Amino acid sequence: MIILKQRCRTTFLISSILSILISAETTASDPIAGKEIYNTTCVACHGAKAEGNDAVGAPALAGQHENYLVRQLANYNQGFRGAGKSDSFGQQMAAIAVLVKDPSAQANVSAYLASLGNPSSQLRLTKPAVVTTLVIRLIKPAAAHVMALMPAAINV
């Protein structure tokens, strides 16, 4: 009986995975078309470089994962997001998300945003003092730790 239950679970899992793979769209997304959609629909709130705008509650989207963005647009269009009475920013987004209801448009705009890279994750160093501080605080201790481990690794 236990073996039969395990086989049923395995069969269900395999069939679920296959149905997801078969139903997935095979068309490639088009970031160039996505840029056009972004510039006509999203730029007013999220900014010219998708850097976001805290004043209107619009998060930065540049460099976000494409699949995540597609899922969130779908969630807004299906009423999973932006439906709460106290979620005023979500309600604003839900009203705009209907303009990007087509799955290929969602994929295109998401591909464009993912292609931008995340500007907040890039380290910008403009002053030599900042570089010196980073070397002293981060690199020097790490190098000392690696050097301390070297003799042990050589003697092994």
Whether 106 and 100 have beta carbons less than 8 Å apart is answered as yes
Please write the tens of the pLDDT for every residue from 44-78.
999 999 999 999 999 999 999 999 999 999 999 99
Mean pLDDT of 147-155: 56
Same domain, 34 and 108: yes
Same domain, 114 and 145: no
Let me know if residue 12 belongs to a domain. no
pLDDT at 28: 78
Task: Please give the residue range of the domain that contains residue 152.
Answer: 123-156
Instruction: Please tell me the chain's helix, strand, coil percentages from 3-state DSSP, rounded to the nearest 5.
Output: 70, 0, 30
What's the pTM value of the predicted model, to 2 decimals?
A: 0.59
In terms of residues, how long is the chain? Answer: 156
Q: What pLDDT digit, counting tens, does each position of 6-30 carry?
A: 665 666 656 556 555 544 444 578 9
pLDDT reported for residue 117: 81
Do 116 and 47 fall into the same domain?
yes
In a domain, 75, yes or no: yes
Token pair, residue 42, equals 């999203």
Q: What confidence tens digit (pLDDT) does each residue in 71-98 have?
A: 999 999 999 998 889 989 999 999 999 9
User: Do the domain assignments include residue 99?
Assistant: yes
The CATH number of whichever domain residue 58 belongs to comes to 1.10.760.10
Judge whether residue 121 has pLDDT over 60: no
42 band by pLDDT with thresholds 50, 70 and 90:
very high
127 and 109, same domain (yes or no) = no
In the chain, the number of structural domains is 2
> Is the domain of 92 the same as that of 133?
no
My answer on whether 139 and 78 are in the same domain is no
Same domain, 37 and 113: yes
Give me the long-range contacts of 79-87 (CB less than 8 A, separation at least 24).
none
Asked if residue 6 is part of any domain, the answer here is no
Tokens 């236990």 sit at which residue?
Answer: 2
Residues 142, 79 share a domain: no
Q: In terms of domains, do 130 and 110 share one?
A: no
Q: Does 54 lie in the same domain as 102? A: yes
